Amino acid sequence: METIIITTAVVTGFTGILAILLTLADRTIANYGEKKLVINEDREYIVKGGSTLLSALIEEKIFIPSACGGKGTCGYCKVKVLEGGGQVLPTELTWLTEEELKNSMRLSCQCKIKEDMKIYIPEELFNVREYEATVELIEDMTSVIKKVRLRLSEGAEIDFKPGQYIQLKIPAYDGNDEEDYRAYSIASSPHDKNHIDLYIGYTGGTATTYVHKFLKEGDKVYINGPYGDFYYHDNRDKEMILVAVGTGIAPILSILHYMAENEIDRKATFYFGARTPDDLFELDLIKYFEEKIPNFKFIPTLSRVTEEHKWTGARGRVNVHLEKDIENADNKEAYLCGSPAMIDTVVELLKKKGFTDENIFYDKF
């Protein structure tokens, strides 16, 4: 019995000493104090050392695109580090090309502030704002996709190009201990500057769990934006090939809103890939676009239909129909949104048809 007591006391004491040492280490070795962050040579901030560059920028209300919420899995949050930043980490190499490495690009979510730093970011990011909004509507589109309509606080307006996205702030909730951000494409019309429509599919992740299991109509949320190089280009003499799967429909709908409201009659064909008829949604809205835009055509194509579905439309993946329908790239441009696998497949096909990087616009998620 005495041996057990002594052993327990020793283990407890050792554990206590280890905890103290770890605390001291965190306060000394990992405590870098305050550091100076200079942005674009003319903006200077005092930030907390030891934090990631991304989180330090967010603290200063400077919002950098980060579709994965700073987890290092999207590669969006690139900034140019002119001084400081230390060595490039292995977690960054997947997302940085040789050219970007030569030009001192870093992933801001992986780069920690351990010394004074100088960085460069595009000037337009200083125009990105944070908005408070109220959840005005949550509606089931399919068994796994919800439509979320946000109303910005009174007097607030957001200007965005059709096709761009915002970041939704995910608060801590039961099962999630820290705040986070996730990127979602805007589905609504850019003419409505007080509302934002999003389509959010359930994946079981932190953000989609919050939206599907916890978010309610009437809740207050925060968004920031707009972001993105994927948006409508006003080349009215060119035919448009629109391709999306799942929630990738969102930016395409925003583009179609813009075309309908501005009476743009470019020839446009929208190929939407899904598995079964149950995965199709917003068909009434798309019918409205077919009526409003003279040269617009919608082709839903389903990959997992059976005789029970009594589906008489197109079957198979979208690339099958693009291969058949598109002869060449003459006077055409393409807008693609969806999974990386779909985008890569379609881009490869389009390039075989003669499309170039200059007339293929896409957004992977």
Q: What are the φ/ψ torsions at residue 259 (nearest 5 degrees)?
A: -65, -45
**Who contacts 16 (Cβ-Cβ below 8 Å, separation ≥6)?**
none
Beta bridge partner(s), residue 133: 152, 221
DSSP letter at 173 equals B
* Predicted local distance difference test score (pLDDT) of residue 236: 86
Nearest to 95 by CA among 84, 114, 109, 81: 109
pLDDT given for residue 7 in this prediction: 44
Q: Where are the beta strands (DSSP E) in the chain?
A: 34-39, 43-48, 78-83, 105-107, 117-120, 129-140, 145-152, 165-170, 180-185, 195-201, 220-227, 239-245, 268-274, 296-302, 314-315, 332-338, 360-364
Say whether 239-364 and 128-227 share the same fold: no
Please report the DSSP string for 282-305 in residue order. -HHHHHHHHHHSTTEEEEEEESS-
Q: How far apart are CA 307 and CA 93, in angstroms?
A: 48
Residue 302 and residue 274 in contact, taking contact as beta carbons nearer than 8 Å:
yes
128-227: which CATH topology?
Answer: Elongation Factor Tu (Ef-tu); domain 3 (2.40.30)
Answer for the pair 272, 280: CB distance below 8 angstroms, yes or no. Answer: yes
Angle 20-23-28 (CA atoms, 0-180°, nearest 5)?
120
Which fold would CATH assign to domain 239-364? Rossmann fold (3.40.50)
Per-residue pLDDT of the chain (365 residues; tens, 9 = 90+): 444 444 444 434 444 454 444 334 444 445 679 999 999 999 999 999 999 999 999 999 999 988 787 888 888 899 999 999 999 999 999 999 999 999 999 999 999 999 999 999 999 899 899 999 999 999 999 999 999 999 999 999 999 999 999 999 999 999 888 888 999 999 999 999 999 999 999 999 999 999 999 999 999 999 999 999 999 999 889 999 999 999 999 999 999 999 999 999 999 999 999 999 999 999 999 999 999 999 999 999 999 999 899 999 999 999 999 999 999 999 999 999 999 999 999 999 999 999 999 999 999 88
Domains in the chain: boundaries: 34-125, 128-227, 239-364
The single-letter code of the amino acid at 331 is N
Residue 233, SS3 per DSSP: coil
pLDDT at 71: 83
Residue whose tokens read 């000394």: 28
Residue 350 has which token pair?
Answer: 């389009």
Question: What dotted CATH number matches 34-125?
Answer: 3.10.20.30
Amino acid 15: pLDDT: 42
Q: Residue 352: its pLDDT value, please?
A: 96
